[in-house]
């Protein structure tokens, strides 16, 4: 009987130790504002108060990004007051009262200039205008307090799908714009840029927080540069934290055509 009680006591002690180990492994979270793990807290670089912008920002946030630890949208919404996030795969009538009002205004008055832009590189079927060019042509004709910037947050593949699914709705009241990009140049990664969290598909692609920062530099007068710097400072710190946990990776040497053929022949001979 005593042996059984001693065995039960040992089990209880073992279970307690297991639970204590689990608690130690659980990451302590910051409760001061950024809601990130305490060891990568961003409260020190967040704006003291969320920034008020004339431009209203609407972000379509892909559901898969909710699980992604490197998503920048949660931090972006803590930096800006006029920033609305919609979780989904497409924008349509009913997704946002703000967008619905722009849609209805354009339907009721076809001569009304567009008061919204959506940010995404153009294609042959849906060309885009560089944002600086759009601003030069349109900012004098619209009320800047009614301007809306629409951004798609997701992987490159998901963002393309989201834009395609939303295009019929958006094209009624929003212009497609882009920042400077080059699809012929390989995108940067955290290993060669202080502002990149995830490997980008081509030159000019960037995280959502950086895209919004660069856009507000153009759209927000006269405080655009100040707003951009505040957002970029947050992103730079995020990248620094992430870079501390990465292993050093040596870039693979680029092989000439002859080198590739030699390796291919060696593999075939081994078989």
Mean pLDDT of the chain: 79
User: Which residue from 108, 53, 107 is spatially nearest to 79, judged by alpha carbons?
Assistant: 53
| Gap between the Cα atoms of 145 and 131, Å rounded | 18
Mean pLDDT along residues 211-237: 93
User: Is residue 101 a contact partner of residue 87, using CB atoms and an 8 Å limit?
Assistant: no
- For residue 15, the model assigns a pLDDT of 46
- Separation of alpha carbons 200 and 19, rounded Å: 40
Of the ranges 39-43, 95-99, 262-266, which one carries the lowest mean pLDDT score?
A: 262-266
> Which residue carries 């929003």 as its tokens?
174
Among all chains, which residue has been given the structure tokens 């001569």? 111
For the chain, give the secondary structure using H, E and C: CHHHHHHHHHHHHHHHHHHHHHHHHCCCECCCCCCCEHHHCCCCCCCCCCECCCCEEEEEECHHHHHCCCCCHHHHHHHECCEEEEECCCCCCCCCHHHHHHHHHHHHCCCCCCCEEEECCCCCCCCCEEHHHHHHHHCCCCCHHHCEEEEEECCHHHHHHHHHHHHHHHCCCEEEEECCCEEEEECCCCCCCCCCCCCCCEECCCCHHHHHHHHHHHHCCCCHHHHHHHHHHHHHHHHHHHHCCCCCCCCCCCCCHHHHHHHHHHHHHHC
Buried b (16+ CB within 10 A) or exposed e, 241-263: ebeeeeeeeeeeeeeeeeeeeee
Instruction: State the pLDDT at residue 185.
Output: 44
| pLDDT tier for residue 134 given thresholds of 50, 70 and 90 | very high
pTM of the model: 0.76
pLDDT band at 12 (very low <50, low <70, confident <90, very high): very low
Q: Are 148 and 102 in contact (CB under 8 A)?
A: yes
| pLDDT band of 247, cuts 50, 70, 90 | low
User: Is residue 159 within 8 Å of residue 152, measured between CB atoms?
Assistant: yes
Parallel, antiparallel, or unpaired for β 129-130 and 83-87? unpaired
Dist. CA 158–CA 171, nearest whole Å: 19
Q: pLDDT, tens digit, for every residue of 47-72?
A: 999 999 999 999 999 999 888 777 88
């Amino acid at each position: 009987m005593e042996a059984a009680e001693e065995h039960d006591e040992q089990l209880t002690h073992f279970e307690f130790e297991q639970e204590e180990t689990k608690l130690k492994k659980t990451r302590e979270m910051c409760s001061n504002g950024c809601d990130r793990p305490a060891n990568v807290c961003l409260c020190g670089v967040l704006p003291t108060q969320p920034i008020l912008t004339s431009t209203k920002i609407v972000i379509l946030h892909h559901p898969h990004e909710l699980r992604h630890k490197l998503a920048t949208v949660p931090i972006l919404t803590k930096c800006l007051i006029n920033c609305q996030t919609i979780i989904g795969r497409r924008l349509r009538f009913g997704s946002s009262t703000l967008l619905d009002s722009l849609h209805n205004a354009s339907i009721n008055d076809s001569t009304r200039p567009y008061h919204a832009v959506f940010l995404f590189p153009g294609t042959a079927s849906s060309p885009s205008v560089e944002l600086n060019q759009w601003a030069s042509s349109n900012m004098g004709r619209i009320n800047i307090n009614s301007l809306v910037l629409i951004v798609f947050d997701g992987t490159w593949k998901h963002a393309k799908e989201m834009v395609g699914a939303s295009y019929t709705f958006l094209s009624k009241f929003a212009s497609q714009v882009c920042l400077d990009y080059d699809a012929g140049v390989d995108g940067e990664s955290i290993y060669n840029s202080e502002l990149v969290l995830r490997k980008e598909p081509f030159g000019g692609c960037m995280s959502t927080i950086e895209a919004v920062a660069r856009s507000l530099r153009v759209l927000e007068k006269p405080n655009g540069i100040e707003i951009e710097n505040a957002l970029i400072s947050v992103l730079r710190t995020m990248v620094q934290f992430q870079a501390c946990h990465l292993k050093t990776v040596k870039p693979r040497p680029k092989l000439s055509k002859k080198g590739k053929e030699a390796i291919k022949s060696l593999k075939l001979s081994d078989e």
